[in-house]
């Protein structure tokens, strides 16, 4: 009899621990399903496409495919435009808009860990527009405050702007990488790269 009582107690303990694990480990969901989890704790992952700063908080916007979510963070985070981050928090509303009030923000992949050729950026521009990118290509025409980056066959070309005080030693036809913000000029209806942050820069590809 004691044997069965011990077994029943063990099973009850296992079930209790499982219940606690479910509570302490919220489900990882797609951003597109956010409305289904209002008031609940969740885990989401996406690319940082926007950042807003207040005195004691920060709001970042994550994008996953065609869907996005605003993340409220007490304090600040080191995440940059283009980083892939994982957020744990509770889904709630601020006004009429759903947000995730974060408990933790984990940077899963920095934006500059992988470089991409210019053709890849061009053919996937919607995914990267408004974020930091690391692009490789060839210098084709150096001017004051900007130069052009092309692919080897010169089928793709993009203008790269750099600040006046930027130290740059490149020559035409050099194979380089460019770390910059990928932006859209609505007036001239064209995309371009802008070197403007400390983490941006240029280097030669070996």
pLDDT at 4: 53
What confidence tier does 18 reach under pLDDT thresholds 50, 70, 90? very low
The pLDDT of residue 192 is above 80: yes
Half-sphere CA count of 121, side-chain side, radius 13 A: 33
Share of the chain above pLDDT 70, in %: 88
- The CATH number of the structural domain formed by 27-109 is 2.40.50.140
Closest CA to 138 of 107, 174, 85, 170: 174
- The domain segmentation of the chain, as residue ranges, is 27-109, 116-204
pLDDT at 47: 96
Three-state DSSP class for 206? Answer: coil
pTM, two decimals, is 0.77
Same CATH topology for 27-109 and 116-204: the answer is: yes
**Where would I find the beta strands (DSSP E) of 26-163?**
41-53, 57-64, 67-74, 84-94, 97-109, 116-117, 132-143, 146-150, 157-161
The pLDDT of residue 8 is above 70: no
The pLDDT of residue 92 is above 90: yes
Query: How far is residue 56's CA from residue 25's CA, in Å, rounded to a whole number?
Result: 27
- The fold adopted by the segment(s) 116-204 is OB fold (Dihydrolipoamide Acetyltransferase, E2P) (2.40.50)
């Amino acid at each position: 009899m004691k044997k069965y009582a011990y077994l029943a107690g063990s099973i009850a303990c296992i079930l209790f621990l499982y219940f606690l694990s479910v509570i302490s480990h919220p489900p990882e969901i797609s951003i597109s399903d956010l409305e289904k989890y209002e008031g609940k704790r969740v885990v989401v992952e996406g690319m940082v496409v926007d950042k807003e700063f207040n005195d004691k908080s920060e709001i970042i916007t994550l994008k996953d495919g065609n869907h996005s979510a605003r993340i409220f963070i007490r304090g600040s985070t080191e995440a940059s435009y283009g980083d892939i981050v994982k957020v744990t928090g509770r889904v709630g509303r601020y006004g009429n808009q759903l947000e995730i009030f974060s408990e933790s923000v984990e940077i899963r992949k920095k934006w500059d860990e992988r470089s991409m050729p210019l053709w890849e950026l061009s053919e996937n521009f919607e995914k990267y527009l408004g974020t930091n990118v690391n692009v490789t290509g060839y210098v084709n025409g150096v001017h004051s405050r900007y130069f052009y980056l092309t692919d080897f066959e010169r089928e793709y070309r993009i203008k790269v702007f750099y600040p006046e005080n930027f130290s740059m030693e490149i020559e035409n036809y050099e194979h380089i990488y460019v770390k910059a913000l990928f932006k859209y000029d609505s007036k001239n209806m064209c995309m371009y790269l802008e070197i403007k942050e400390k983490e941006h820069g240029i280097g030669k590809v070996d």
